[in-house]
Structure 1
Amino acid sequence: MKKKKTEMEDDTLPHYDLDKLPIVKRGPGYAAKGKMVRIYSVVLDPDVAKVFPDSASVNQALRLLIQAREIGVKKSSRRS
């Protein structure tokens, strides 16, 4: 027969000192508000990495490329 739990049992051993445990840094996928965020990683070829030194410059170039593509799509759809 199973033993009934009337109170919350402390299953940690008495010799554990929880104050001495190291503080573990949260990973890069953990946002400040406690929500998990998805992180994407792309590996650039060395010649491309020379032109784009950081992720901000890559994002800026890609956004300009997306805008140019959208403008091209709008112009080509008018000719139809």
Structure 2
Amino acid sequence: MNQKYNSEFEDELRDEYDFNSIPVVARGPGRKHPNKVTIELEPDVAEIFSDSVAVNEALRFLIKITQKSIPQT
């Protein structure tokens, strides 16, 4: 379906309309949530952790043991 441009239909938008400044909001399943932080894991680390729940659990454990080993002032 290769259609050629039909010059009969002119662009009626004014030149001052700037659509480049409008933010694009992606919606639907599988899209990033705007309030979540996305990080990229190295492949060897990603092999160990199956999902974000596992990563968060490991990091919370690391935080807990690190805070216990550091003397509080």
TM-score class, shorter: 0.5 to 0.7
Give the gaps of 5 or more residues in structure 2: 1-25
Higher relative contact order structure (alpha carbons within 8 Å, sequence separation ≥ 6)? 1
CA RMSD of superposed structures (Å): 2.3
Aligned CA distance change for structure 1 residues 41 and 25 (closer, same or farther; 3 Å) = closer
The separation in 2 between residues aligned to 1:49 and 1:28, in whole angstroms, is 19
Report Cα offsets for 1:13-55 as digits up to 9, x if no partner: xxxxxxxxxxx945643xxxxxxx5110010000000000100
Identity of aligned residues (%): 33
SS at structure 1 position matched to 2:57: helix
Moved over 6 A (4+): none
SS at structure 2 position matched to 1:66: helix
The separation in 2 between residues aligned to 1:63 and 1:25, in whole angstroms, is 30
The separation in 2 between residues aligned to 1:48 and 1:69, in whole angstroms, is 20
Equivalent residue in structure 2 for 1:66, among 42, 63, 67: 63
Q: CA deviation at 1:73?
A: 1.0
Give the gaps of 5 or more residues in structure 1: 1-23, 30-36
TM-score, with structure 1 as normaliser? 0.48
- Across the two proteins, how many residue pairs are aligned to each other? 46
- 1:28-47 superposed matches below 5 A: 28-29=32-33, 38-47=35-44
TM-score, with structure 2 as normaliser? 0.52
